Amino acid sequence: MPKQLTTQNATITTVAVEVRALTISGKQVTQSVFRQLEEARLVAHEGTLNGVPWGYVNYHPDKCADGYPHRHIVWQHGQELRRANVGPHPDFDPGITRRRPLAFEALAVNRFLTSSTLEWLTGRRPDCPLQKDPHSSNKYNEEITYATPHKFPAWGYAPGVAVDAANAHSALTRAAEWLEALKSYMPNADPEWRRREQQRREERLDEAQAALDAACAELAAEVATWGRTHDEAFADFKAACNQEAARRQRVRDVYATLAQLPQLFIAV
């Protein structure tokens, strides 16, 4: 029965032509022993290492050799040895499984989008930051993708209170257009019908205005709970993107270091 592989009894020995063998108690580790190593993540989210990498083994115990390119790295966690499945580059960068950089998501992005919507509704911004729903020309979608100075986009999600307010604005616009259209609609119509129709459309316009006022008040109350001005929300958004860019670069640097690890040989 093979012995358990630990940092106390495992060593790396160098033989001819710089071949490094992973051994346990002086004997070369076999594939069956290697499979017993717990698989755990080596690269932390923040771009640090969860332990000390020893090297990689060109053996795929999970029959994954035909999948995406990767290495099985042996690394030390405290007094234990583990193995990690590490690809040639971080999963947020383009590669075999991803055509574009992974979009960045954060609360700061969502808040900036929400605050921008309020700025538009209150006349401090000329255009709506939300995009029209692809399935309805009169409604807005809650999602948007921002371009950033970095090599990744930022994905924003507006809460329901912001989308409802934007849709209320759209409803008010339609009500105003509906009332304006009455001027040229059926010019020879009965005057009494026209009077009633104008009253009906004016009432609809008033209702749409009241709905928009209520929606904007609710949105403003939501934004006020953050204790941040719009300019501060924008600064938070930029800072979050900068921090994400720095984090991704740290991860890339770690992957570049792991790519230089020596190969460790094990027995069949």
* Residue-wise pLDDT tens digits, 44-95: 999 999 999 999 998 888 778 777 888 999 999 988 899 999 999 999 999 8
DSSP β-ladder status, 38-39 and 264-265: unpaired
pLDDT score at 134: 82
Query: Count of CB atoms within 10 A of residue 26's CB?
Result: 8
* Residue-wise pLDDT tens digits, 195-247: 999 999 999 999 999 999 999 999 999 999 999 999 999 999 999 999 999 99
Dist CA 170 CA 62 (whole Å): 55
The conformation of residue 106, written as its DSSP 8-state character, comes to -
Instruction: Enter the tokens of residue 242.
Output: 């900068």
pLDDT score at 1: 47
% pLDDT > 90, the chain = 66
Of 47-51, 120-124, 166-170, 182-186, the poorest mean pLDDT is in: 182-186
Quickly list H helices, 157-190.
Answer: 160-181
Indicate the pTM of the whole model: 0.83
pLDDT score at 76: 92
pLDDT score at 146: 96
- Taking the CA atoms of 16, 22, 24 and 29 in sequence, report the sign of the dihedral they define: negative
